[in-house]
Amino acid sequence: MKKIFTVFLVIFSVIANFAIAQDEIAGVVVFGNQNQPGTRVHKEIQSLMLNGETLIISSESVINNALAETSVLFSPLAAQAINADKLTTIEFMRNMITSNSLFEATKASIESTPENIISIINITVSLYPDFAQDVINAAVMSGEMDSNTALIAAISAGADPTTVSEATAAGGNVASTLAAPVGVGVGAGGTGGGDATASTN
């Protein structure tokens, strides 16, 4: 009887732990908000991964599909930047999935291929326009671009000049804006461009 009870406890524990793990995966927090093309792409990649697909295949598949004429994942500006350098976009999104931080993913992408810094800024700003300051800070902190040049590059990429500024010598506001909770495949609130109002889109 004791042995049967022990087996029951082990089975119950396994089932309970599996349920908790599933909740943790399904409740993943995605950087940004529903207005950001990058957030929508992130969620699509995450959805494929939750269904067992690898990060490499998921990111390539979502980005290729998002470039289709019928897709609404990308804004026209984002589609233009991504078409110009799809391989860099895929690499950036892999970094984004891994770190879930625009600052960290941008900095890692720049440090990996510093010769592509302008392309990376174009891509990241177009994917996360409300968080362009994070991109500027990352470019400066990478050591590959000075503050003024990073600001100009971000504005040229489509950043709102009223919401961005030069990063300081220490990298400006290096602590990225906190990611808003966005469940996989479900829109949720977020902050961006200094607006603390939750998005209802």
Lowest mean pLDDT among 66-70, 73-77, 108-112, 182-186: 182-186
Residue 27: its pLDDT value, please? 60
Buried b (16+ CB within 10 A) or exposed e, 93-108: bbbbbebbbbbbbbbb
pLDDT at 55 over 50: yes
List helix spans (H) across 53-85. Answer: 55-66, 76-84
- Reported as a pLDDT band with limits 50, 70 and 90, residue 22 is very low
Specify the higher pLDDT residue, 127 or 14: 127
Question: What residue type is assigned to position 156 of the chain?
Answer: S
Strand partners, 195: 192
Average pLDDT on 163-167 reads 86
Domain assignment of residue 6, yes or no: no
Residue 72: its pLDDT value, please? 78
Average pLDDT on 87-98 reads 95
Domain assignment of residue 63, yes or no: yes
* Helix then strand then coil, % of the chain, to nearest 5: 60, 0, 40
Domain assignment of residue 114, yes or no: yes
Give the domain range for residue 149. Answer: 31-156
Residue 1: its pLDDT value, please? 56
- Reported as a pLDDT band with limits 50, 70 and 90, residue 7 is very low
Domain assignment of residue 40, yes or no: yes
Alpha-carbon distance values, 77 to 29, 139, 179 (Å): 25, 20, 23
Environment class of residue 53 by beta-carbon count within 10 Å: exposed (0-12), middle (13-18) or buried (19+)? middle
Domain assignment of residue 165, yes or no: no
Domain assignment of residue 74, yes or no: yes
Environment class of residue 110 by beta-carbon count within 10 Å: exposed (0-12), middle (13-18) or buried (19+)? buried
Average pLDDT on 39-57 reads 92
Domain assignment of residue 102, yes or no: yes
Q: Tell me phi and psi for residue 103, to 5 degrees.
A: -60, -50
Q: What is the pTM of this model?
A: 0.70
Domain assignment of residue 67, yes or no: yes
**Rg from Cα positions in the chain:** 19
| Total domains present in the chain | 1
